Structure 1
Amino acid sequence: MRSSILLSVVLAAMAFQAHAGRSCEQHKPTVQTIERGMQLAERTARALDASGASVVLLARAGQDLSKYGLRYSHLGWAYRTPEGPWRVAHKLNECGTAVAAVYRQGLGEFFLDDLWRYEAVWAVPAPEVQQRLLPLLQDRARTTALHQRPYSMVSYAWGTRYQQSNQWALETLAAAMEPASVHTRTQAQAWLRFKGYEPTALAIGPLARLGGRMTAANIAFDDHPNDKRFADRIETVTVDSALAWLQRAQLAGAPQVLGGF
């Protein structure tokens, strides 16, 4: 029975071509990587059940970003369904393209990728934040209200030309917290600024920028202000900055880490 389940998951992985927070290089999943991903998903589900939360910010490590001082690459909003299982709403780039879409997946699919490090991290939002997020996440129209298809992996945190995955998640949080006044991405970003969010400033030089833009459709820098871009200062939304800000702003508790296998 377990082998048939693994086979179906492998076939799904081979067919699925949307990614975020990891390389777009095509690697056929192996039984070992599938098993490790499923083990991480199962252990994460048990930990989230034990937390008593209904919504958490959940992240994974799909790429090695250590040269930028970052540990995690991609986040989404995980929520408990009325039936019990957890689902993750997150934005994924269609590999090899400059567009993305919002998906709802189970924990197994979320950790299905050939991850750089088999580790999960999550933060439990404050009760009021969970109460505001849950109905939004259960409503497909509200979940995608601030979604924008044009995508860049390093989109400017305070811009609206592109929108990367972590950026969508924080802007959606703003819409959940202030539904009467946040209807656009600009308004969402104003709320994030007001609450003290600070994006990560990546040091990316001109040669790296040129190489990235010429070789990958999902990387663009033309939305960044010239003064910051030419100073090699690329400000974008990262998992690490989001986790630190949520705790600092008392919107969520300290990050919880599950890994070591």
Structure 2
Amino acid sequence: MKTMRTCFLALLCSLALATGAHAGRSCEEKKPSLQSFENGLQLAQKVMQSLDASGQQVVVLARAGQDLSKYRVRYSHLGFAYRQPDGKGGHVWRVLHKLNQCGTDESAIYRQGLGEFFLDDPWRYEAAYVIPSPAVQEKLLAALLEGHRPLLMHRKPYSIVSYAWGRKYQQSNQWLIETLAAAMEPGITSRERAQAWLQTMGYQPAELRLGPLTRLGGRITAANVAFDDHPPEKRFADRIQTVSADSVFEWMQMAQLAGKRIELR
């Protein structure tokens, strides 16, 4: 417990200076508690131990940042967790993912430790990951560690419900799956080509049922919510198709790119 509290104090000092950036959770302002930090660090520790025991190099990692159960979605946000040497004969796990600047319609790509990934006030202290096949891991690791490549598919304008096959906006899980596509096929250098590859590979986005009042309320009250990239025939039929963490997990298993989902609480 003493070690946990020491970690909490160090992280609190560093995060107090950071600009709010979130994905897969609400942007409500509230002070972090000691208990929430300890819960986050404990979950990060469990995930690290599980990843170490797996002997893998790269996994696709999910957290439950928001309560999306009414849309039949369990996990809200994905990142690539990868293992790299720490320069001292050991190794560390890093997470590469896309985050939205809270209260804005912009986003950026971040590299963080496991602790930071889970210290984002989640709805539920639960994690899950899938292990890509060795061939997929090899391609992913090369792409994640090569300076500019993680930015290749990134588009700064952000909507949390961006259309899965659109290119006006991009949400966090959409960046991840498009980056995965670009890693798999070196010839993919645009989001259009990445999405074409995903369609060829059978990816099916999540379909959220959002009525007009919900859409209107979200658009008026939040800068990071937009629906104008969705085809009118789908939008006005309350069928919002976007990339969810659950749909990515299901597709990777179906396409034989990864194994079954591993859950940790």
TM-score by length of 1: 0.97
User: How many Å apart are 1:239 and its aligned residue?
Assistant: 0.3
Q: Distance in 2 between matches of 1:197 and 1:131?
A: 21
Q: Distance in 1 between matches of 2:7 and 2:77?
A: 26
- Three-state SS of the structure 2 residue aligned to 1:36 is helix
Match of 1:199 in 2: 205
User: How many Å apart are 1:80 and its aligned residue?
Assistant: 0.2
Residue of structure 2 aligned with 1:224, choices 230, 243, 252? 230
Deviations 1:218-250 (A, max 9, x none): 000000000000000000000000000000000
Match of 1:146 in 2: 153
Cα distance change, pair 26–12 in 1 and its aligned pair in 2 (3 A): farther
Q: Distance in 2 between matches of 1:171 and 1:225?
A: 20
Match of 2:74 in 1: 71
User: How many Å apart are 1:52 and its aligned residue?
Assistant: 1.0
Match of 1:208 in 2: 214
Residue of structure 1 aligned with 2:111, choices 104, 114, 132? 104
Structure 2: tracts of 5 or more residues without a match: none
TM-score by length of 2: 0.96
Question: What is the one-letter code of the residue matched to 1:204?
Answer: L
Q: Is the CA contact (8 Å cut-off) linking 1:123 and 1:255 kept in structure 2?
A: yes
Q: Distance in 1 between matches of 2:34 and 2:13?
A: 11
Count of aligned positions: 258
Deviations 1:151-205 (A, max 9, x none): 00000000000000000000000000001x2000000000000000000010001
Question: What is the one-letter code of the residue matched to 1:7?
Answer: L
Residue of structure 2 aligned with 1:125, choices 108, 124, 132? 132
- Three-state SS of the structure 2 residue aligned to 1:140 is coil
Task: Establish whether residue 165 from structure 1 lines up as the match of residue 167 from structure 2.
Answer: no
Question: What is the one-letter code of the residue matched to 1:26?
Answer: E
Deviations 1:128-155 (A, max 9, x none): 0000000111123001111000000000
Q: Is the CA contact (8 Å cut-off) linking 1:14 and 1:28 kept in structure 2?
A: no
Match of 1:234 in 2: 240
Task: Establish whether residue 41 from structure 1 lines up as the match of residue 44 from structure 2.
Answer: yes
> Sequence identity of aligned pairs in percent?
60
User: How many Å apart are 1:58 and its aligned residue?
Assistant: 0.1
Match of 1:13 in 2: 15
- Three-state SS of the structure 2 residue aligned to 1:29 is coil
**Structural RMSD (CA):** 0.9
Q: Is the CA contact (8 Å cut-off) linking 1:91 and 1:168 kept in structure 2?
A: yes
Q: Distance in 1 between matches of 2:213 and 2:84?
A: 46
Task: Give 1:52-63 correspondences, 5 Å limit.
Answer: 52-63=55-66
Higher mean C-alpha displacement, 76-85 vs 238-247? 76-85
Q: Distance in 2 between matches of 1:207 and 1:12?
A: 40
